[in-house]
Structure 1
Amino acid sequence: MSLQKMIKPSQQYQEQLNNGQLTSDSDQSAALAYLDGLVEALCRPVVVTTHKGVMVWRYEDGVPEPRGLYLHGPVGRGKSMLMQSVFDAVPFPEKRRVHFHPFMDELHNRLHKARPEVNVDVMLYIASEIAMESRLLCFDEFFIDHIADGMLLGRLLDALFQCGVTLCATSNWEPDNLFKGGYNRASFLPLLKVIKKHVEPLDLSSGADWRRKGGPATSIKGGDPAAEFTRLALMAPRSETMVLGRHEVAVRGHKDGLYWFDFRELCMRPLGVADYMDLCEVATTVMISGIPDLRANVVDSASRFVILVDLLYESRMPLRLFSDLEFDELCPEGPVAFEFRRAASRCHELMRLNCTL
């Protein structure tokens, strides 16, 4: 596999600096040497071996698979952009980038359906299935808030590394702070040990939130959603319903790929990852009005909003939001607060995207 086919992360970064898409950042620049080395290591020739239905990637030169990457730091520091540069640089097709929420949803479905051969560990069987599709697996927004998920993921990652898969991940938390203070954290430590053994942590904590600096100011306070819908759709909004998963959801207005919802419909009902993914598949622009003061006891609604925004961000979905308060005024308290601030940062970026129908 020729290295001439790839554009290294450092070259991608320099090109974006040259055309004004990026402003130089010391933490980002310092990470580029490791990213370039990782890409070169991944591009070595590989062979595939199988035993009892379990597939393993091995490098022809006999050198073990490279340590992956764990980019951590506050919101808006360019973690996802740098990971994407690694993903774009590798020229082989067996790679996947996925947001953490839908991946965990998928893992539970795979566990339910798995039928491994006799004497084959079910998690190794699932890891082999994933490895057949992806020898580079990129996780966006790695975050553990349930100990059961942490224990499952620890077993899966250990099995994936046995199959020769390389992991890249972004997170707002350094590895030692994942699930810190959580109930029965000792059960989480095997996952932490696996992560530290197989990935290289790179800190992007200094610098600015580039999403907030990357364009004109955005505001969610005030505004007239009906007028905005009419401006975009060239027609007045009419109420209807749509089906997301098993749920019938009220739509305030719809034309082609433009959908306008009330916050209550999307985030104050028991919708989940699969439902929001259905929305991302059909929408080209999303409007959400009536975002309430989330400082009141609405943790579930705030958590659903965070998941929704993460999936909209993964889809690069143009977004229009409307509330009586600004993000800083309605931020919830408690464990979800940090995740909400990340979602708010992502909203500022999505609100600058041009709407499409």
Structure 2
Amino acid sequence: MPSLPPITAPARELEARILRNIEDHEVSPDTQQKRLISILSSAAASRFSDEHHGAYIYGPPGRGKTLIINALVASSPRQTTARFHFHEFFQNLNSPKNRVPGQRLGAIFSQGLERELKGLKILVFDEFHCTEPGDAMLMVRLVKYCAEHSIFLVATSNYEPDRLLDDDAFHHLVQPTIASIRENFTVFELDGSVDYRTLAVDGEACDRGYRAGTLSVGVTAEPSTARREMIRIGYDEIGPAYVADESIWIGFDQLCGTRRNTADYLELVRRFTRWHITAVPATRDLPMDEERRLANVLDIFYDRDIELHLYTADGLEHLGSSLHDTERDRLASRLAQLQFIELERMGL
């Protein structure tokens, strides 16, 4: 890991802007978060150099990583700074709308990087991780591209660098990226004992977005006024679903029980702002592929701050039992922010 850049006047100014942005959200950073803000400000203000390519921030869910990098983005020049979520960025690069007939996938990816990252000085990636060999290959090319074009890369992750693609059969694919991170990035572990997402929030914070959502056990959701229709996705359809303005009611089987992927979910959340996913089965024996799809849904809805209501057969206490510990912890953190409603508590 390179030595930390000096604390300069621009670094102090950036740190002050980040702290003001966080305080505007009525959050008081703890000691460890303040230390990260100071280090990140010095690194980002110094920008890219031959020795210093970026910052890699990792730790358990809910410790404030996303809050801090969002404040960094808001405090940096808009024209030369961009923030992406891992899923959305790579799905956008590989979208059929950006392909030329007969074009090789590698060429599509290279041209996509040029298109999306043109003119950037700071690139921020939230939820930087890979669970499949394909992710690893894309990650290697992204890190290399940023180094070649002097783009300062800031990444957050639930995984320490050495645990990216933690699979003995494929780990070698991501080793060049790990080596680059260890050698050229400031690496910071934000591992405070408190998961802030699990703490109670005031009523106003629960009135909008993801935290306005609910997890209802034993409750049936049937819209009183909505039209029943199939939802077109590319050349395919999903449904049937019930739609009313920007609200949608759709069954778990339609959304997670079929071969849907992240690109499908990203397309759907662009169309509807309030979601009701009904008939979520008991999670003790949920197939792994369906678990992973639901995990992807929760990640995307959380990142997009989309209002989500789940209607379940149990409290989802067994969700993630077949997934990696880190993925399971992230799921628990996401679910803890939904308001819990149980049939007996409703007096029904």
Q: TM-score, normalised by structure 1?
A: 0.77
- Tell me if the contact between 1:318 and 1:351 (Cα under 8 Å) persists in the aligned partners: no
The aligned residue for residue 257 of structure 1 is: 246
Q: In structure 2, how many angstroms separate the alpha carbons of the residues matched to 1:108 and 1:244?
A: 16
Contact kept, 8 Å, 1:136 with 1:168, in 2: the verdict is yes
Q: Which residue of 2 aligns with 1:50?
A: none
Deviations for 1:67-100, whole angstroms, at most 9, x for unmatched residues?
Answer: 3221111111111111111111111413221111
Q: Which residue matches 1:41?
A: 46
Between stretches 215-224 and 260-269, larger displacement belongs to 215-224
Matched residue SS, 1:320: strand
The question of 1:248 aligning with 2:253 is answered no
**Which digits, 9 at most, give the CA deviation of each residue in 1:96-145, with x for residues without a partner?**
211111222234459965979xxx99976654444315332211111111
> Which of 264, 271, 287 lines up with 1:275 in the alignment?
264
Q: Could you tell me which amino acid in structure 2 is paired with residue 27 of structure 1?
A: Q
Deviating more after overlay: 236-245 vs 171-180? 236-245
Q: State which of 221, 225, 248 in structure 2 corresponds to 1:226.
A: 221
2:318 paired residue number: 330
In the alignment, the residues of structure 1 paired with residue 268 and residue 261 of structure 2 have an alpha-carbon distance, to the nearest angstrom, of: 11
The CA RMSD measured in Å over matched residues stands at 3.3
Residue identity in the other structure for 2:266: M
More displaced stretch, 216-225 vs 196-205: 216-225
C-alpha contact (below 8 Å) 1:69/1:169 kept by paired residues: yes
TM (normalized to structure 2)? 0.79
CA distance in 2, matches of 1:341, 1:159: 32
C-alpha contact 1:313 1:346 (8 A) present in aligned 2: yes
Q: 1:255 to 1:7 in 2, by over 3 A?
A: farther
> Is the CA contact 1:77–1:205 (under 8 Å) kept in the aligned structure 2?
yes
Q: Sequence identity, in percent?
A: 24
Matched, 1:13 2:19: yes
Contact 2:320–2:327 (CA under 8 A) maintained in structure 1: no
Alignment partner, residue 173 of structure 1 = 159
5 Å-filtered alignment, 1:1-357, equals 8-14=14-20, 16-17=22-23, 21-42=26-47, 64=50, 66-109=52-95, 113=100, 127-215=113-201, 220-222=215-217, 224-226=219-221, 229=223, 235-327=224-316, 329-336=317-324, 338-349=326-337
Structure 1 249/199 Cα, relative in aligned 2: closer, same or farther at 3 Å? same
Q: 1:69 to 1:315 in 2, by over 3 A?
A: same
Deviation digits for residues 295-342 of structure 1, max 9, x if unmatched?
A: 325111111112222221222111111212113x22232334532431
Farther off after superposition, 314-323 or 122-131: 122-131
Unaligned 5+ runs, structure 2: 1-8, 203-210, 341-348
One-letter amino acid of the structure 1 residue matched with residue 163 of structure 2? N
- Secondary structure at 1:332's aligned position in 2? coil
Unaligned runs of 5+ in 1: 43-58, 230-234, 353-357
> Could you tell me which amino acid in structure 2 is paired with residue 331 of structure 1?
L
Structure 1 residues 20 and 284: CA distance shift in structure 2, 3 A: closer
* 2:207 alignment partner in structure 1: none
Supply the distance in 2 between the matched residues of 1:26 and 1:80 (Cα, whole angstroms). 17
CA distance in 2, matches of 1:300, 1:172: 21
- Quote the Cα distance in structure 2 between the aligned partners of 1:197 and 1:122: 29
Q: Show the counterpart of 1:49.
A: none
- How far did 1:171 drift? 0.7
Paired amino acid for 2:43: L
Check the 8 A contact 1:292/1:330 in 2, yes or no. Answer: no
Q: Is the 8 Å Cα contact of residues 61 and 333 (structure 2) preserved in structure 1?
A: yes
1:28, 1:73 → 2: CA distance?
12
2:63–2:194 CA contact under 8 A, matched in 1: yes
SS of 1:345 mapped into structure 2: helix
SS of residue matched to 1:93: helix
For CA contacts below 8 A with separation 6 or more, give which structure has more relative contact order: 2
Q: Distance in 1 between matches of 2:109 and 2:148?
A: 11
